[in-house]
Amino acid sequence: MQRTASRLVEELAAERAKVRRELVLTGITGLGLVAGLAGGWLGAEGAGLSTGAGALWTVGYAAAYVAGGLPATRDAVVKLLTRRRLSIDMLMVLAAVAAALVGEVRDGAILLFLFSLAESLEGYAMGTTKRAVVALMDLRPETANLVVDGRTTVVPVADVQVGQVILVRPGERVPLDGVVLSGAGHVDQSPITGESVPVDKEPGDPLFAGSVNGTAVLEVRVTKPASESTLARLIELVTVAQSQRSPSQRFSDWFGQRYTLLVLAGSVVALGAFLLLGVPRDEAFYRAATLLVVASPCAVVISVPAAVLSALARSARFGVLFKGGAALEDLGSVDVLALDKTGTLTEARMRVTEVVPFGIGREALLALAAAVERGSEHPVAKAIVETAAGLEAPAASGAVAVPGKGVTAEVDGTTYWAGNAKLASELGVALPPEVREAASRLEQSGRTLTFVGRGSGGEGEVLGIIGVADTVRPSAAPALRALRAAGVKRVVMMTGDNGVTARAVAAEVGIRAEDVHAELLPTQKVELVTALAREGTVAFVGDGVNDAGALAAASVGVAMGAAGTDAALEAADVALLSNDLERLPHAHALARTANGVIKQNLYFALGIMAVMVVFTLLGRLPLPLGVLGHEGGTILVVLNGLRLLGWQPRLGRRGPGRLAEAPTAAPAG
């Protein structure tokens, strides 16, 4: 991983050096062109070396051809000998030589200057995407404040071991992944997860390297070495993603290589046709050389990677990792979206939603239930205890867990219990009609029920019912509406939970009842995803660990809350580093925009190439104009792709981190 990041830095340094060399050679080519033009304007074009103007003309154009042509010739020969690939550089050099042979030295020099300038600008522009990734590395501090025996020492981050304690002062970047030991305050995690507002941290909460501490002093126990931190993993994954080729990139590479051969052969055929049609020899060679230039597929070859690499770099800045260009293109064309329920649409955190007492006060019922449940580790018990915090609860003793049913305990010498209906039945406590009616109502709304009672047998009684439910993410419903508005045709929920609970959550987030699939085993999720694939491109959103099979079966697997979780980062094609579902429509919107830019670039590149080829074949298109159109078109598609580096979500907002409400409409799926 460390080697990957280091290699990226080395590649960027090498590219910068190459761009500097190219700019110097471009400058020499330009000066030579200016000198040659000056000699021609002084009336010395075609004159001997005896005159100063003639020498200026000769030396100027010679410098332009050497500085602009030799590097391109060298690169073309290397590619031909080592990769057996005919490059576009070779076409440009051949065209310049052909122009010189027919007496149009000026046009050949203009070609080499513009080609050299365009290559330099393209190299600089494409390096911008790597610089955007390397900027992530600047988020990682080089040193950490190591705490040993109460003393703080500044040490390199690479020297800090897992389990050691570091100190993070206010305003400092967190140097390593860890868990807060002491201190409480807010931390800006936006560089890692893309969350728009700082996150409150207290003892026991995780911290990610690269995030910025607020105003508190935090003691942190290190959980990962520097080479395996979330930030390091992010850098590695983005770097690897940029090396993966999307279908469009593979097409442009395939097209460029074969089309280059076609251009060379076509120019030879065109030359023969011109001569057979009686076109003067010099003009025929000139038009064939122009055809070499205008038909070269530079813009086509560069149009796709310019957009894909920019989008990959931009997405990483707002907390979304694509595993490559293929995942980016697929997410932008999703037809069916399938989501896991627990931990995806919900927060996997239970909360008390209803308290229904019978012959006892509401607060008294909560306090009593909390006293009985206090020693339980069950999520429902924890939700009840948290809700009752601040209430004066009686002292309970002798708590006994009844597996799968609940808990019993002694309060002031009397047995109290809290659990499901099976526990009441086991204790021989009958449920009166009003209790059964309330329980039925709560169950139909998808609540998990805890019956609270006293005694057993005929003397036992139910004191109340507490309804508990998983918390639906606030961003879930707006996110799904935004995705539907963006063109997703169908939204499906898959869960292992019971149908009643699943349908209740679905109704809350706007998923149709017929698109809810409950009580599924992991293998059944895989089968369902495979079946949905018949309707189009399928994206499955899950936690990246338990849903690994479904993530792999989908056209695009999206892992939620992947920050800090190596398994989640590896499991999916797309990783949302935060647990905010708002990131999903953002990622989808960026992918759709990138796909649109790719199409724009390809249409423009092919269109301008076709127009110039037609003008060259039917008339005498000046070589400098052909070069300007060719290189200008190439630069334009690069710049069009690079604008994705500044892409911003335009989904409308209602405050930090929240999607705006979309117009109310019947769910489309």
The catalytic residue positions are 340
Task: Give the Cα separation of 538 and 330 in Å (integer).
Answer: 9
Q: Largest alpha-carbon pair distance within the chain?
A: 127
Name the phi and psi angles at 529, rounded to 5.
-60, -40
Token digits for 264? 């060379």
Terminal-to-terminal C-alpha distance of the chain: 41
Amino acid at 18: K
Select from 330, 359, 279 the least CA-distant residue to 557.
Answer: 330
**Reduced to 3 states, what is the DSSP secondary structure of residue 640?**
helix
Cβ 640 vs Cβ 597: under 8 Å: yes
Separation in Å, CA 468 to CA 135, 288, 387:
45, 79, 11
Beta strands in 475-572, from DSSP E residues, in sequence order: 490-494, 516-517, 538-542, 556-559
Enter the DSSP assignment of 341: I
Count other C-beta atoms under 10 Å from residue 11's C-beta: 14
What is the spatial distance between Cα 110 and Cα 631, in angstroms, rounded to a whole number?
12
Asked if 350 and 270 count as a contact pair (C-beta separation under 8 A), the reply is no
Classify residue 323 by its DSSP letter.
S
Tell which residue, 217, 237, 131, has the closest CA to residue 174: 217
How many CA atoms does the CB half-sphere of 378 hold within 13 Å? 21
Q: Could you write out the DSSP letters of every residue in 105-162?
A: HHHHHHHHHHHHHHHHHHHHHHHHHHHHHHHHHTTS-SEEEEEETTEEEEEEGGGPPT
